[in-house]
């Protein structure tokens, strides 16, 4: 590579990723994290409103009064019921609050909130218990002016546009997506248009073009170039200085500077310089997905756009030539018009394909998805996006002077935004617009990019590129589905909050027991957000069995998304006492997905190669009290000399009945590992039951700071009294038990407490 600055950038990225994977923490995050749970007084300056819900407001705040916290940014959570007056940008406040370090990932491959906040250089969360205003406007005149401009933009757009259209336009113009609805964001994500919601290089191109036009009247080139740089810096601050914004802004500045010093602008060097600057300011920025996609997209366009344009141009040229030769003069005139349209289509498609060549592995690794409709969606949306951005900026600035006279022009903007929303929604419904894939290995990603580089370096023909791409796909398919053929057993007790979900892998079979449920909000689907991404991270796209212990939402709700998006060969349920809407919906979905439904009862055996599952409960006589919980499936998985007892949400009455049923053979109930019933509720795990079961290890699926008081202290004490080692998802995150062919157990926890 004949660009040493690019080599330096790559080396820096490799070093930072290596240090992070080795557990080295940059800056002083560990020092701050050590104060987790600290309740004390702070003084700070409000930076902006991060998010507002029905119950609380989250601000960005810079603490200025504490030795350890001084000059560091935090999230400040203020409960509306305690303090309903909105604080403003620049307010200095005195507050009492409890510092909470951000959560790390609770599951293998899961979302690491602490790393996400590090990409924004935020050190954690302070829950305010009391807050008072000291003074206002503790910011510079420039900061105040930029914030006023941002608030004015919001006000003008909210006043003159529909709610969804205004929120979308605010995102397009100044990169603020806080008020954008989840449904709209999902439409843009599914249709591969999320990048439109981020301020990107096109915004800065519009700024430079506009200022160059203005500079013609000034006729002072150097002054115009200085003005460009100043405006770019101001716009970067206005739009939040995110990774993609800083990348675009720095590259725009370097382009202007190259003109100032009469040097040829080099895009690759400009990108390298911009990422080096960002790394110096915050090394964790390289883990920001938006930053990765921003740089990856530009790299793809720089490296491959010309070749793709040439390739598509040759094909379209041959077609147009044949039509021209065979047509009349009138036909040839029409062809000139269509030539321009074809040129636009070729340019749009080539930019989209070249960008996606680089960012597809990033999307697969982070989101487990790939879109096959991205060409259509970007072609349709690209035709209107530039017009919306330019037209929107012009209207906002003209409204300062003309005010209400511009209302008819806002109607036009509203229509264009409706069209863009319709395009995103339509493209999100196209078949294969969102295809789930298992997480690619780092080895595959490296091989993919090496092949791309070789193709570019050697300038192979597209016929050969197609062959290489096919080989890569086949290689990845073979590599990813080669799951270990070992007969060892691995149990993954997944952290799904206040719910249960367990993955068992043995004898090359994958068994999912329950699927958790939503305890966050109606819009949160634990199957979509946690369970399916987890399974794909584990390399599982097909489940041999799904076992449902019972049909309470915290056990079965997440399974719908699993059934709809992965292959499930068999589902195992009990037909006893399950007359409920959840049961009916699940059975209907299983039939629709053509899964084999297996109804089991007490005494049934399911063979899993070197392991077996024996159904212990319920029998034909149901317990009428709390019917769902007390008639849940209870079964034992036996492997070598190890047994694992799954108890669903059974309570005291069911435990006593089970003891009665097996009075003549109580050893049948003994186990090595116990999935504690009902999340450790005080209504379960009676002493007599635990004395008979005699577990050495107990697993409790429970949400952090849940409203049910789970697990109950009495249950914890009883488990401790019998010498049982306790693991719980609220403290340990995902709990993995690896059992080898000799029956040795190795326990690993995702969170170290």
Q: Which residue has the higher pLDDT, 330 or 127?
A: 127
Sorting pLDDT into bands at 50, 70 and 90, what band is 571?
Answer: very high
Predicted confidence at residue 484, as pLDDT, reads 44
Q: Which of 79-93, 349-363, 564-578 has the lowest mean pLDDT?
A: 79-93
User: Using an 8 Å Cβ cutoff, are 185 and 168 in contact?
Assistant: no
Helix (H) or strand (E) holding 31: helix 29-33
In angstroms, the Cα distances linking 633 to 217, 444, 607, 649 are 80, 41, 17, 9
As a whole-number percent, the residues of the chain with pLDDT over 70 amount to 89
Predicted confidence at residue 320, as pLDDT, reads 54
Query: Taking every pair of C-alpha atoms in the chain, what is the biggest distance, in angstroms?
Result: 101
Q: Which residue has the higher pLDDT, 45 or 264?
A: 45
Q: Which of 42-56, 127-141, 403-417, 533-547 has the lowest mean pLDDT?
A: 42-56
Burial 156-166 (b: 16+ CB within 10 A, else e): bbbebbeebbb
Comparing C-alpha atoms, which of 207, 200, 206 is closest to residue 243? 200
Segment 146-195, tens digit of pLDDT: 888 888 999 999 999 999 999 999 988 888 888 888 889 888 888 888 87
Predicted confidence at residue 350, as pLDDT, reads 85
Does residue 553 have a cis bond before it (omega within 30 degrees)? no
Cα–Cα distance, 358 to 468 (Å, whole number): 15
Sorting pLDDT into bands at 50, 70 and 90, what band is 483?
Answer: very low
Predicted confidence at residue 480, as pLDDT, reads 52
Cα–Cα distance, 615 to 606 (Å, whole number): 8
Helix (H) or strand (E) holding 52: strand 39-52
Predicted confidence at residue 219, as pLDDT, reads 67
Cα–Cα distance, 395 to 157 (Å, whole number): 9
Q: Which of 60-74, 326-340, 537-551, 564-578 has the lowest mean pLDDT?
A: 326-340
Burial of 452 per CB tally in 10 Å (0-12, 13-18, 19+): buried
As a whole-number percent, the residues of the chain with pLDDT over 90 amount to 44
Beta-carbon contacts of residue 137 (< 8 Å; ≥ 6 apart): 90, 144
Q: Which residue has the higher pLDDT, 598 or 303?
A: 598
Sorting pLDDT into bands at 50, 70 and 90, what band is 371?
Answer: confident
Predicted confidence at residue 211, as pLDDT, reads 73
* Beta pairing partners, 335: none
User: Using an 8 Å Cβ cutoff, are 89 and 47 in contact?
Assistant: yes
Comparing C-alpha atoms, which of 679, 680, 636 is closest to residue 658? 636
Question: Angle 243-260/221-238 helices, nearest 10 degrees?
Answer: 170
User: Using an 8 Å Cβ cutoff, are 149 and 393 in contact?
Assistant: no
The dihedral region occupied by 137, where left means phi > 0, alpha psi between -120 and 50, and beta the remainder, is left
Cα–Cα distance, 80 to 83 (Å, whole number): 5
The number of C-alpha atoms within 13 Å of 461 and in the hemisphere containing its C-beta is 1
Helix (H) or strand (E) holding 188: helix 182-190
In angstroms, the Cα distances linking 483 to 367, 478, 566 are 21, 10, 17
β-strands 509-513, 634-639 pairing: unpaired
Best-predicted range by mean pLDDT (26-40, 175-189, 538-552, 570-584)? 538-552
Average pLDDT, the chain: 86
Q: Which residue has the higher pLDDT, 49 or 611?
A: 611
Q: Which of 134-143, 237-246, 453-462, 484-493 has the lowest mean pLDDT?
A: 453-462
Three-state SS annotation for 228-279 = HHHHHHHHHHHCCCCHHHHHHHHHHHHHHHHHHCCCCCCHHHHHHHHHHHHH
Helix (H) or strand (E) holding 170: helix 163-174
Q: Rounded mean pLDDT of 210-218?
A: 72
Segment 70-101, tens digit of pLDDT: 889 999 998 876 665 678 888 999 999 999 99
Segment 511-558, tens digit of pLDDT: 999 999 865 555 678 999 999 999 999 989 999 999 999 999 889 999
User: Using an 8 Å Cβ cutoff, are 749 and 733 in contact?
Assistant: yes
Segment 279-288, tens digit of pLDDT: 999 999 999 9
Query: Percentage helix, strand, coil, to 5, in the chain?
Result: 55, 20, 30
Rounded to a whole number, what is the distance in angstroms from the first to the last CA of the chain? 46
Comparing C-alpha atoms, which of 228, 230, 234 is closest to residue 206? 228
Segment 422-481, tens digit of pLDDT: 999 998 888 877 888 888 888 788 878 877 777 777 655 545 555 555 556 655 555 554
Cα–Cα distance, 751 to 493 (Å, whole number): 13
Helix (H) or strand (E) holding 468: helix 462-481
The dihedral region occupied by 719, where left means phi > 0, alpha psi between -120 and 50, and beta the remainder, is alpha
pTM over 0.85: yes
Q: Rounded mean pLDDT of 687-714?
A: 93
Q: Rounded mean pLDDT of 318-332?
A: 53
Predicted confidence at residue 322, as pLDDT, reads 55
Segment 605-663, tens digit of pLDDT: 999 989 999 999 998 888 888 888 999 999 999 999 999 999 999 999 999 999 999 99
Sorting pLDDT into bands at 50, 70 and 90, what band is 744?
Answer: very high
3-class secondary-structure state, position 76:
strand
Is residue 577's pLDDT more than 60?
yes
């Amino acid at each position: 590579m004949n660009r040493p600055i690019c080599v330096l950038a790559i080396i820096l990225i490799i070093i930072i990723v290596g240090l992070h994977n080795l557990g080295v923490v940059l800056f002083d995050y560990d020092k701050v994290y050590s104060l987790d749970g600290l309740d004390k007084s702070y003084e700070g300056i409000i930076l902006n409103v991060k998010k507002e819900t029905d119950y609380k407001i989250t601000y960005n705040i810079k603490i200025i009064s504490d030795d350890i916290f001084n000059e560091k940014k935090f999230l400040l959570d203020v409960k509306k019921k305690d303090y309903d007056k909105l604080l403003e940008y620049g307010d200095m406040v005195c507050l009492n609050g409890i510092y909470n370090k951000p959560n790390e990932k609770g599951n293998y491959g899961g979302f690491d909130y602490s790393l996400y906040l590090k990409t924004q250089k935020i050190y954690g969360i302070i829950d305010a218990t009391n807050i008072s205003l000291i003074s206002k406007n503790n910011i510079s005149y420039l900061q105040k002016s930029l914030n006023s401009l941002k608030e004015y933009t919001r006000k003008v757009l909210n006043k003159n546009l529909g709610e969804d259209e205004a929120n979308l336009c605010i995102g397009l113009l100044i990169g603020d997506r806080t008020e954008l609805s989840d449904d709209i964001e999902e439409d843009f994500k599914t249709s591969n248009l999320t990048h439109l919601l981020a301020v990107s290089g096109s915004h800065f191109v519009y700024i430079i073009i506009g200022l160059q036009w203005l500079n013609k009247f000034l006729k002072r080139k150097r002054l115009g170039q200085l003005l460009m740089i100043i405006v770019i810096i101001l716009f970067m601050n206005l739009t939040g200085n995110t990774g993609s914004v800083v990348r675009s802004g720095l590259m725009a500045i370097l382009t202007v500077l190259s003109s100032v010093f009469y040097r040829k602008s080099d895009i690759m060097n400009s990108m390298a310089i911009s990422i080096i600057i960002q790394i110096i300011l915050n090394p964790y920025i390289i883990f920001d997905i938006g930053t990765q996609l921003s740089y990856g997209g530009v790299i793809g366009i720089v490296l491959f756009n010309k070749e793709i344009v040439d390739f598509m141009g040759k094909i379209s040229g041959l077609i147009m030539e044949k039509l021209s030769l065979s047509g009349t003069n009138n036909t040839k005139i029409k062809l000139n018009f269509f030539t321009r349209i074809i040129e636009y289509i070729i340019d749009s498609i080539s930019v989209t394909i070249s960008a996606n060549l680089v960012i597809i592995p990033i999307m697969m690794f982070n989101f487990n998805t790939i879109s096959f409709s991205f060409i259509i969606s970007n072609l349709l949306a690209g035709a209107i996006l530039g017009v919306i951005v330019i037209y929107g900026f012009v209207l906002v600035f003209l409204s300062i002077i003309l005010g209400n006279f511009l209302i008819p022009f806002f109607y036009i903007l509203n229509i264009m935004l409706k069209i863009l929303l319709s395009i995103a929604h339509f493209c999100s419904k196209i078949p294969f617009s969102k295809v789930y894939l298992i997480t690619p290995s780092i080895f595959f990603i490296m091989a993919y990019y090496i092949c791309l580089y070789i193709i570019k370096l050697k300038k192979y023909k597209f016929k050969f590129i197609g062959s290489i791409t096919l080989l890569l796909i086949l290689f990845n398919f073979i590599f990813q589905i080669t799951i270990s053929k070992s007969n060892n057993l691995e149990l993954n007790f997944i952290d799904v909050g206040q719910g249960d979900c367990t993955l068992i892998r043995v004898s090359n079979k994958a068994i999912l027991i329950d699927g958790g449920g939503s305890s966050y909000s109606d819009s949160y689907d634990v199957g979509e957000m946690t369970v399916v991404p987890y399974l794909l991270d584990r390399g599982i796209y097909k489940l041999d069995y799904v076992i449902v212990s019972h049909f309470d939402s915290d056990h079965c709700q997440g399974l719908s998304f699993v059934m709809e998006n992965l292959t499930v060969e068999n589902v195992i349920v009990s037909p006893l006492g399950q007359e409920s809407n959840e049961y009916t919906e699940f059975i209907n979905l299983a039939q629709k997905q053509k899964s084999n439904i297996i109804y089991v009862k007490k005494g049934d055996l399911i063979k899993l190669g070197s392991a077996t599952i024996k159904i212990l409960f319920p029998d034909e006589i149901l317990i009428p009290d709390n019917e769902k919980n007390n008639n849940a499936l209870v079964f034992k998985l036996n492997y070598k000399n190890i047994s694992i007892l799954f108890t669903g949400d059974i309570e005291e009455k069911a435990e006593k009945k089970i003891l009665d049923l097996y009075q003549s053979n109580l050893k049948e109930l003994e186990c090595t590992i116990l999935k504690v019933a009902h999340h450790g509720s005080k209504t379960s795990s009676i002493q007599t039951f635990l004395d008979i079961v005699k577990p050495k290890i107990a697993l409790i699926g429970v949400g952090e700071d849940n409203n049910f008081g789970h697990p109950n202290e009495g249950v914890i004490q009883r488990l401790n009294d019998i010498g049982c080692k306790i693991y719980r998802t609220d403290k340990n995150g995902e709990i993995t038990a690896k059992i080898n062919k000799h029956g040795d157990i190795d326990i690993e926890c995702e969170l170290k407490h």
